[in-house]
Structure 1
Amino acid sequence: MKLRSQMPELKGEAAWLNGSVKREDLVGKKPTIIHFWSMSCHDCKETMPQLNQFKMLYEQRVNFISVHMPRSMEDTDIGKIKKAARRYKMTQPIFIDNQMTLTDIFNNQYVPSYYLFDQNGVLRHYQSGGNGMKMLEKRVLKLLNEI
Structure 2
Amino acid sequence: MKLREQMPELTGATSWINDEVTKEDLVGDKATLIHFWSVSCHLCKEAMPEVNDLRDEYDDQLNVVAVHMPRSEDDLDMGVIEAMAMGHDITQPIYVDSEHKLTDAFENKYVPAYYVFDKEGQLRHFQAGGNGMPMLRKRINRVLGEE
TM-score range, shorter chain: over 0.9
Aligned residues: 147
* Equivalent runs, 1:92-111 vs 2, <5 Å: 92-111=92-111
Alpha-carbon displacement from aligned partner over 1:72-131 (angstroms, at most 9, x marks no partner): 111011111000000001000000000000001101000000000000000000000001
Residue in 1 that maps onto 2:133: 133
Equivalence for 2:29: 29
RMSD (Å), alpha carbons: 0.6
After TM superposition, give the deviation of residue 45 of structure 1 in Å: 0.8
Matched, 1:2 2:2: yes
| TM-score, normalised via structure 1 length | 0.98
Q: Please give the alpha-carbon distance, in whole angstroms, between the structure 2 residues aligned to 1:53 and 1:3.
A: 25
Structure 1 runs (4+) deviating above 4 angstroms are none
Distance in 2 between the 1:9 and 1:23 partners? 5
For 2:82, what is the secondary structure of its paired residue?
A: helix
How far does residue 145 in structure 1 lie from its aligned partner after superposition?
Answer: 1.1
Alignment of 1:9-24 (within 5 A): 9-24=9-24
Letter of the 1:116 partner, please give it: V
What is the CA–CA distance in structure 1 between the aligned matches of 2:50 and 2:32, rounded to whole Å? 17
Normalising by structure 2, report the TM-score. Answer: 0.98
Q: Identity of paired residues, percent?
A: 54
- Aligned position for 1:39: 39
Q: Hey, what's the Cα distance between the residues in 2 that align with 1:54 and 1:8?
A: 22
1:53 Cα deviation after fit:
1.4
Q: Secondary structure at the match of 2:74?
A: helix
The amino acid across from 2:32 in the alignment is T
Mapped to 1, the partners of 2:67 and 2:131 lie a distance apart of 19
User: What is the identity, as a one-letter code, of the residue corresponding to 1:22?
Assistant: T
Residue range with higher mean Cα deviation, 47-56 or 6-15: 47-56
Unpaired segments of 5 or more residues in structure 1?
Answer: none
User: Counterpart in 1 of 2:90?
Assistant: 90
Correspondence 1:71 to 2:57: no
Distance between the aligned counterparts of 2:144 and 2:104, measured in 1? 29
Could you tell me how far apart the structure 2 residues matched to 1:78 and 1:5 are? 31
Q: Secondary structure at the match of 2:67?
A: strand
